Amino acid sequence: MTLLDAATPSAAALWPAPQALGPLDALVDVPGSKSLTNRYLVLAALADGPGRLRGALRSRDTRLMAQALGSLGVAVDDEGADWVVTPGSLTGATTIHCGLAGTVMRFLPAVAALADGPVRFDGDATALVRPMGPVLAALRQLGVRVDEHGEPGHLPFTVHGRGGLLGGQVDVDASGSSQFVSGLLLAAARFTQGLTVRHTGRTLPSLPHIEMTVAVLRAAGVEVDDSRPAIWHVSPGPVAARDVRVEPDLSNAAPFLCAALVAGGTVRVPGWPSSTTQPGGLLPGILERMGGTTSLDGDVLSVSGTGVVRGVDLDLHAAGELAPTIAALAVLAGSPTRLRGIAHLRGHETDRLAALANEITRVGGQAEQTADGLVITPRPLAAGTWRTYEDHRMATAGALVGLRVPGLEVEDVATTGKTLPDFVGMWTSMLAGGADTTSGTAPA
Ligand SMILES: O=C(O)C1=C[C@@H](OP(=O)(O)O)[C@@H](O)[C@H](O)C1
Ligand SMILES: C=C(OP(=O)(O)O)C(=O)O
């Protein structure tokens, strides 16, 4: 593997989404979590010695993170199954290419403020509309010079690192993305005074992802006080070098588990954690409500279905990342679904509320956008093209709908490489029935 292999994926030909021809019986081995891999990489880069990631996700988003850290002077070496990270003094005078990765564009500006020179951030054309303003405003509150080169509050911009940061206190409106908070917290132990972050907005999405940030910091010996609502304090101090194993990506498991409800039969995912800060930990409960039965035997999650899917009224503000998959499942349900609490999805890889409403409508379904979500009313569906807007979860949502719709073709399925490069292979094996659908992620 080369870390330099994270170029923009090319738009591929239409992929004829396979139909489910009978009940499933598959074991699907899902690669490591994007969110955990990229947090562990950042913390390893700031740590007091070399660290090791086992079972790290190798995908476009994580390679971009590794590459970005490399350009800041941190060695990220591929040792077969593992990534070994050797921190160094952070060097500026470089450009970080964020691709479309929220974790790279939101987690690294505060790290760049610790570098000894200017760090320019750029990204895919589709990344230039993703909200960045609160991150830049927070850095300026901390005395960091930031030059913006495009639309205010968006990529591209330059963070002028000065080799260190005093820290203190910042207010940030994270109603657009929890990543604004996580990005500040991840670097904060290296600020001279640490950092207190206060969220000022009315809503706060994806709280489990902020809890994940707090958990990985604490596991690295960093003191974090999160006892007050919407306020986090990180004490200054060393970040311990660690040897960590990355949990499977439970959000990437979602389309496979949902397939059991659509096709009937059972899909099993090994390595399911008994407790987790990943929002995908909410999946068993959601899938039960939508007609599935679930059980955790040891570390294997089994989800079984009958082919009959129930619509739901669901607030997904804690797990917006699951929304495209749940929306696709809802299209195939026997009753309407309302998804709430996900206005911030308009700033994801694409405006996901608009994209889902467009594509569901294009194949004959009914979906209306609300102020903070979607209302989906099942209708008979027809063949057509499912467009993906460079959004990996739009592609996997199309695959799920395609299980029931002959002639549905997914545009640019290669966009799944953002977090799950072998999606097509894994999906095909799952449908082949009973095959051990291994992802190719190296075991321990
Ligand atoms: O911190 C993270 O790893 C993530 C936080 C969430 O972002 P938002 O709060 O912007 O939804 C989630 O949707 C994204 O996929 C990953
Ligand atoms: C919102 C997502 O990604 P990002 O980390 O780029 O924000 C996602 O993976 O669903």
**What are the sequence ranges of the domains in the chain?**
15-32+247-437, 34-245
Looking at the predicted structure, is the pLDDT value of residue 442 above 70? no
Atom of ligand 2 nearest to the CA of 321: 10
pTM value is 0.95
CA separation for the pair 169, 156 (Å, rounded)? 25
Annotation says 223 is catalytic: no
CATH topology match: 15-32+247-437 vs 34-245 = yes
The fold of 15-32+247-437 is UDP-n-acetylglucosamine1-carboxyvinyl-transferase; Chain (3.65.10)
* pLDDT at residue 79, as a whole number: 86
The counts of H helices and E strands in the chain are 12, 24
182 is in an annotated binding site: no
Average pLDDT, the chain: 94
| Catalytic entry in 321, 349, 390, 411 | 321
Q: Complex ipTM, two decimals?
A: 0.99
Ligand 2 cavity residues, CB under 6 Å: 101-103, 321, 348-349, 393, 419
Ligand 1 pocket check: which of 43, 130, 206 to mutate, most ligand atoms within 8 Å of Cβ?
Answer: 206
Q: What number does the ligand 2 atom closest to the CA of 105 have?
A: 6
Q: Which ligand is nearest to the CA of 180?
A: 1
Ligand found nearest the CA of 37: 1
Strand locations in 354-430, DSSP E?
366-370, 373-377, 384-386, 408-410
Nearest to 325 by CA among 242, 422, 239, 427: 427
Taking the C-alpha atoms of residue 24 and residue 26, their distance in angstroms, rounded to an integer, is: 6
The fold adopted by the segment(s) 34-245 is: UDP-n-acetylglucosamine1-carboxyvinyl-transferase; Chain (3.65.10)
Note the pLDDT tens digit of each residue in 29-87. 999 999 999 999 999 999 999 999 999 999 999 999 999 999 999 999 988 889 999 99
Which residue shows structure tokens 């950092």?
195
With the most atoms of ligand 2 within 8 angstroms of its CB, the residue from 98, 348, 420 to mutate is 348
Atom 4 in ligand 2: residue holding the nearest Cα: 102
| pLDDT exceeds cutoff 60 at 436 | no
Alpha-carbon distance of 61 to 247, in angstroms, equals: 16
Q: What is the DSSP letter of 55?
A: S
pLDDT at 285 over 60: yes
Minimal-distance CA residue to ligand 2 atom 5 = 102
Record the tokens describing residue 441, joined without a space.
Answer: 């992620």
- Distance from residue 192's CA to the centre of ligand 2 (Å): 31
Place of tokens 């894994």: 426
Q: Is the peptide bond before 156 cis (omega within 30 degrees of 0)?
A: yes
Q: What is the pLDDT of residues 292-333, one digit of tens each?
A: 999 999 999 999 999 999 999 999 999 999 999 999 999 999
Alpha helices in 79-155 (DSSP H): 102-112, 133-141
Q: How open is the CA angle 303-304-310, to the nearest 5 degrees?
A: 100
**What is the torsional sign of CA 257, 259, 264, 268?**
negative
The pLDDT of residue 325: 98
Buried b (16+ CB within 10 A) or exposed e, 119-140: bbbbbbeebbebbbbbbbbbbe
Q: How far apart are CA 24 and CA 259, in angstroms?
A: 8
Cross-strand pairs, 375: 338, 368
Both tokens assigned to 108: 């690294």
Which residue ranges have their beta carbon within 6 Å of ligand 1? 35, 102-103, 177-179, 182, 205-206, 209, 320-321, 344
The residue whose CA is least distant from atom 15 of ligand 1 is 321
Ligand-binding annotation for 344, yes or no, is no
